[in-house]
Chains A and B, each alone.
Chain A
Amino acid sequence: MSLFYGLNIASSALFANQKALDVTSHNVANANTKGYTREEVIFKANAPSMGITTSSGYGTGQIGSGVSIEDIERVRNMFLDSQFRNESQQSGEWDIKNQILTAVQEIFNEPSDSGITTVLSDFFDSLQELSKNPQSNDVRSLVRQNAVSLTDTVNNLYNQLSDQKEQAVFNIKTDVTQINSLAKQIGNLDDQIYKFETTGNEANDLRDQRDSLVDQLSALANVKAYETSNGQYRIDIGGRALVNGNVSYDIEYADNGSDITKPSDVIKWQDDGSGVDIQGGEIQGLFDMVYGDNSGLKGIPYYMDQLDDFAYNFAKSFNEVHKQGYTLNSTEDHPIAGTDFFDMKTATDEDHKGYAKIFGISSIISDPVSGLNMIAASGTGEPGNNENALKLAALSTDTTVFEDDIQNVKYDGAAETVTITLRDNIDTSSLAGAKVKIDGADIDITADEIKNNTITLSVAGSPDEIAISGVKYTNGLVSDDDPESITLNAGSYQAPGKSGTFGDRINSIISGLGVDGQQADSMSSNQDNLVKQVNSLRAQTSGVSLDEEMTNLIKYQHSYQAAAKIISTIDNMLDTLLNIS
């Protein structure tokens, strides 16, 4: 044990404190780096040398041998990380839903003075004017113009919704590319980290980068990140590895058009084509918006379908009444009946998808020479008769327009008749000659069996199944083999009531949209708050506090000075020793 031993101890202090100062300055330099975790120096007292009991009397107990840095610890809480990723996933999903639903609301532009409700109302107003002055060319021109406004508005709404959908699909593709890219980068980092850590130290900054990438990934999809025993990450989506060590697996987006109900139907693993089980994150949000087409999941296609439904039923009901009237060219002796006012194109009751895009007035009405005369306002053929115009205007308050054609089918065992009740305004002229199948056997409907809006057929025995072609219905009693038949289970069938005027239907679409929008808005801001809170907790543990670093700076500086003082004292002592002469 010489003085030089003391020098060693002091110099170990110098090195340690210098290193600690370096760590402090690294922390300060990176105080504002996103995702940076502060590093803390762990000092450790060096292994003591054993006291040697010799006759010289030195060796009492252990003698310390100075300080060294055991570890530069990265102060990070893995639990908070996984909490953050959970919240971030929800936040990603609701943020994008909020964004898209706001855009859809702005497309509908209600409540306002220029939305579809106003245009619809103006059209019915012009029909009222027609009822007060059926022959006036000016008024007819106004009716036609307002009809064109209505169809244009509906076309426009449909097209804008369609554009939004395309935009969202593009976003999905971008996100998928982003996921692949992040996965690849994480794989690379895993590789570098592994190689570095074989030396026994922790690759602090590389790990920070990797965690930051995983944070970004978590907003996009429901990823789970685990650290494996060799320090590499395994990142799973839906139970299957996206990144495993330094290998990353690509995913791709492929829309094959059929039967899509969940994200795994369109997003597939590139190597074997099986579905990626995504259940959260921005991609889930986008998926819901792009493919949600039923009342359980109201995405953009749901609103497009509602618009189609509205336009189709409007055109159909309007045409039905229009055809009951007579045009301006008629005379009482030669009445000319009205034709279709709106062009139905190829739409049918069962399939009118996309009708809102092609909704328009028929070429007969839009003809510049004779179109105005073909508006059928008269009920009898006389030009001053306004009965049909009144009926057309009354459609605005008609609450039966969305009802099924078949309201009720009843079998009476005693009288052996089947009575089919149709909805009130139905055009029964097309029914005579329609076919009815009872238990598979064809029966013709003759004109005398049709009275007002009921059809009465005599049927012997008790039939189980009745199918009617040419009339629209929907029912929950469909038999699998013949989708058009109604099964007379309890002896009668009652249509689900679906009433409301055209205005009411639009109003309910808009308020439904409002409710969804409000939900997305509040979920989104809640999630933002939660993410912020978790971030705050993370910063609490891992953030750099300048005050703390400054204090550490002073600590290490003083320690360094003290150690230096010790060296100079020992130096003096050595001097004294060496100068003994």
Chain B
Amino acid sequence: MRVTNNMMADNMLYDLNNNLTKMLKTEQQLSSGVKIQLPSDDPVGTARLLMLKKNSQSNDKYIKNAQDASSWLNYTDSALDNLTQDMARIKELTVDGATGTLASSDMKSIAEEIGQIRDDIYTLGNSTYTDRYIFGGFDTQTAPLTKITSTDGTGIDDINMQQPDIPSDYVPDEINYEIGDNTKISINTNAYQVFGPVTDADGNAITGDLFSDLKKLENALNTGDQKTVSDMIDTMDKHSDQILAVRADIGAKVNRLDLVTSRLQDNSLNITDLLSKTEDVDMAQAATNLSTQQSVYQASLQIGAKVLLPTLLDFIK
């Protein structure tokens, strides 16, 4: 086979070029840290990578939502904790006031303290969290409880909230957060659920709402109506139980969110791991490749130099 000098030179150049191309690719991978620069480098890997990224992003989104939901619920719970303490004090005072042995001035001081606690509960009911009334339902910009000066001669203000005509007709406003694909959790508590009348199994009211009951109690203490005060002990117990039930519900939701968050975070770790395996360059491997390619390149340069130089001219005198 006849071989010319140009053929040798062309071949050498072609192979050198190939070596350099491989080196360039490895060097790009090392300096950017990713295996796939263009989709055509690995179309199947690219498809997988894009899907993993999507999963990772939606997972992070759900974690954030779960944490925000938890915050709201915890804030609600601490408000209700204060409420529970208030209710405990009210029970003490009511029991005191129900003993027949108190003077009317003492009963009036108890009434006054009840009045103060009622105001405190009113403030609690209008708590805000990040500029929203937490007990307001969908109407987060309007205070759920309003105080109106009373005209019925008792001297005690009315505290009103939105109430349905029939307690069994009540549909609570549910603000939902998404914590998974098509999975939602409601995070709010409505004023009516906490302060509204306690109902029996059929949905009929067996007490008034908390504020009107407290007003009744205060009025009874003011006017010395010991019998009513005595009846109120049971009523206040029922209200306390209702509040506790709401708190239990919140507690259950918080627990659920803890589980969900923990699961999502585990998922997140797994996905990050998979992402890294698909997308990231194995630094050790790439560095080894680069060093191999460099030796090959140097060898080809050296041999090329030896092979290209001599022609017959060097030996003809």
Contacts and interface: CB of A to CB of B under 8 A. Distances in A.
B150 interface: no
Contacts of A124: 61
Contacts of B295: none
B6 to A, nearest CB: 5
B61 A128 contact: yes
B54 A111 contact: no
Nearest to A386: B175
A547 B36 contact: no
Contacts of B5: 31, 544-547
Contact of A383 (B50, B141, B316): B141
B140 A110 contact: no
A131 interface: yes
B3 interface: yes
B31 interface: no
Contact of A105 (B4, B39, B140, B316): B39
B177 interface: yes
Contacts of B65: 128, 132
Interface in A98-123: 101-102, 105-106, 108, 110-111, 117-118, 121
Contact of B10 (A383, A386, A532): A532
A555 to B, nearest CB: 12
Contact of B2 (A117, A520, A541, A550): A541
Given A383-B140, A539-B10, A543-B7, A121 B57 contact: yes
Given A105-B39, A547-B312, 13 more contacts: A110-B39, A111-B279, A117-B50, A135-B141, A136-B131, A383-B141, A384-B139, A384-B175, A394-B182, A511-B47, A511-B50, A520-B40, A550-B311
Contacts of A118: 53
Interface in B34-60: 34, 36, 38-44, 46-47, 49-51, 53-54, 57-58
A454 to B, nearest CB: 23
A366 interface: no
22 contacts: A105-B39, A105-B40, A108-B39, A111-B39, A125-B57, A128-B178, A132-B65, A397-B181, A507-B50, A510-B50, A514-B38, A514-B47, A532-B14, A539-B10, A540-B4, A543-B7, A545-B4, A546-B311, A546-B312, A548-B2, A550-B312, A551-B312
Given A511-B43, A517-B38, A539 B53 contact: no
Interface of A: 31-32, 101-102, 105-106, 108, 110-111, 117-118, 121, 124-125, 128, 131-133, 135-136, 378, 380, 382-387, 390, 393-394, 396-397, 503, 506-508, 510-511, 513-518, 520-521, 532, 535-536, 539-541, 543-548, 550-551, 554
B141 to A, nearest CB: 6
B201 interface: no
A384 B46 contact: no
A510 B46 contact: yes
B302 interface: no
A384 B312 contact: no
A536 B39 contact: no
B313 A546 contact: yes
B10 A106 contact: no
Contacts of A385: 138, 173, 175
B1 interface: yes
Contacts of B36: 111
B1 A514 contact: no
B282 interface: no
A31 B6 contact: yes
Contact of A390 (B42, B68, B178, B312): B178
B11 A536 contact: yes
A131 B132 contact: no
A289 to B, nearest CB: 15
Max chain B Cβ within 10 angstroms of own Cβ: one of A101, A506, A514, A548: A514
A128 B177 CA distance: 8
A535 B14 CA distance: 12
B45 to A, nearest CB: 9
State the 9 A-B residue pairs at the shortest beta-carbon distance, nearest first.
A517-B40, A514-B39, A384-B140, A514-B43, A382-B138, A543-B4, A511-B47, A550-B312, A545-B4
Interface string B245-280: 000000000000000000000000000000000010
A13 B175 CA distance: 111
Contacts of B130: 133
B227 interface: no
A132 B4 contact: no
Contact of B38 (A106, A125, A136, A507): A106
Given A105-B39, A111-B39, A511-B43, A121 B178 contact: no
Contacts of B279: 111
A85 B68 CA distance: 68
Given A535-B10, A536-B10, A102 B50 contact: no
Given A384-B132, A539-B10, A543-B4, A117 B53 contact: yes
Max chain B Cβ within 10 angstroms of own Cβ: one of A101, A105, A132: A132
B196 interface: no
A126 to B, nearest CB: 10
A111 B49 contact: yes
Contacts of B34: 111
Contacts of A121: 53-54, 57-58
A384 B130 CA distance: 13
B2 A540 contact: yes
A491 B177 CA distance: 45
Contacts of B131: 136
Nearest to A547: B312
B136 interface: yes
B138 A383 contact: yes
A111 B37 CA distance: 8
Contacts of A394: 178, 182
A102 B313 contact: no
B191 to A, nearest CB: 13
B184 interface: yes
Nearest to B310: A547
Nearest to A507: B50
B307 to A, nearest CB: 13
Contacts of A507: 47, 50-51, 54
